[in-house]
């Protein structure tokens, strides 16, 4: 599924059902996700959930014995269901909770992951991540310095998790449209002023998406199982060949690093 706003929305939706509950049992029906679900995940059984944390697109579930780390991949979702609710196709993992509810992981493409890190061991996937986009650590100065002499296109640059986390394909496309920058522009060629604009826009776009309940995604499902809002307010993503909503030019599509890039040839230079 998910871009950062969807993960944040999932985290907020799950919190009231998970925090302070005990994990009574864990049922793994399919352990072949992006990584094999480790046996050690069973160490969570009997543990109370202390808090949920989101870092990048990872959702961390903290307990006294260690931390579970979820990643939802391309098509994963987590939701709360009643304990009698039968599992459907692609419902790979259940956590039975002390409040009688089930935390259920669904993921058709199985690009997601569930890992366990015992207390005081390093959480490897988090070690080399760049700043969170919605914090003060993500600045234009930092982006500017990192990008000097880079020929890499700005789009793949901002999607690099060591530069800044949580900017996926949809929001990369939208942010570059709003900043008036062509996706293929070499990152190193952009002025501090233009990068300042880009940083501002990335923060605004992600914050707005979270505020709207997290989703611009067709098949997004909230923690309560309600479908997400249908794609609203996307200026370019998924609109190749259609008119620019600002100037009515026909939107172009190219590919960078095998990801589609839609842009307006007039508004983005």
Is 226 a residue that touches DNA (CB under 7 A)?
no
Is residue 245 involved in binding DNA (CB under 7 A)?
Answer: no
- Residue 202's Cβ-count burial label (10 Å; 0-12, 13-18, 19+) is buried
Q: Most distant CA pair in the chain: distance in Å?
A: 59
104 belongs to the catalytic site: no
Is-catalytic flag, 57? yes
**Contacts (CB under 7 A) with DNA, residues 124-143:** 125
Interface residue with DNA, options 31, 42, 161, 185 (CB under 7 A)? 161
Is residue 2 flagged as an active site residue? yes
| 149: exposed, middle or buried (Cβ count in 10 Å: 0-12, 13-18, 19+) | exposed
Q: Which stretch binds DNA (CB under 7 A): 16-24, 114-122, 137-145, 147-155?
A: 147-155
Active site residue 141: no
Sheet holding 91-97, edge to edge: 23-28, 91-97, 101-106, 77-82
Q: Does 1 bind DNA (CB under 7 A)?
A: yes
Give the total of residues touching DNA (CB under 7 A): 39
Q: How many residues does the chain have?
A: 269
Mode of pairing for the β-strands spanning 58-63 and 66-71: antiparallel
**Binding residues for DNA, per CB under 7 A?**
1-3, 6, 32, 34, 56-57, 71, 73-75, 89-90, 108-111, 125, 150-153, 156, 161, 168-170, 215-220, 256-260
Catalytic residues: 2-3, 57, 259
């Amino acid at each position: 599924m998910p871009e950062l706003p969807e993960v944040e929305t999932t985290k907020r939706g799950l919190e009231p059902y998970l925090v302070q509950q005990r994990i009574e049992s864990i049922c793994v029906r399919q352990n072949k996700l992006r990584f094999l679900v480790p046996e050690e995940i069973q160490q969570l059984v009997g543990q109370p959930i202390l808090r949920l944390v989101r870092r990048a697109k990872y959702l961390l579930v903290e307990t006294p014995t260690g931390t579970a780390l979820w990643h939802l991949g391309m098509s994963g979702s987590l939701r709360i269901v009643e304990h009698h609710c039968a599992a459907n196709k692609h419902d790979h993992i259940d956590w039975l909770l002390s409040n009688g509810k089930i935390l259920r992981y669904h993921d058709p493409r199985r690009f997601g992951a569930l890992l366990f890190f015992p207390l005081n061991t390093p959480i490897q996937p988090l070690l080399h991540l760049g700043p969170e986009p919605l914090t003060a650590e993500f600045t234009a100065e930092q982006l500017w310095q990192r990008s000097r002499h880079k020929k890499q296109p700005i789009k793949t640059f901002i999607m690099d998790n060591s530069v800044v986390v949580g900017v996926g394909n949809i929001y990369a496309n939208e942010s570059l449209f709003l900043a008036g920058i062509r996706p293929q522009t070499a990152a190193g060629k952009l002025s501090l002023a233009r990068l300042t604009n880009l940083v501002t826009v990335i923060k605004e776009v992600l914050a707005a998406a979270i505020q709207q309940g997290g989703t611009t995604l067709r098949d997004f499902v909230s923690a309560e199982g309600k479908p997400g809002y249908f794609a609203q307010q996307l200026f370019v993503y998924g609109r190749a060949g259609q008119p620019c909503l600002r100037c009515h030019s026909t939107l172009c599509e190219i590919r960078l690093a095998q990801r589609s890039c839609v842009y307006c040839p007039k508004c983005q230079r």
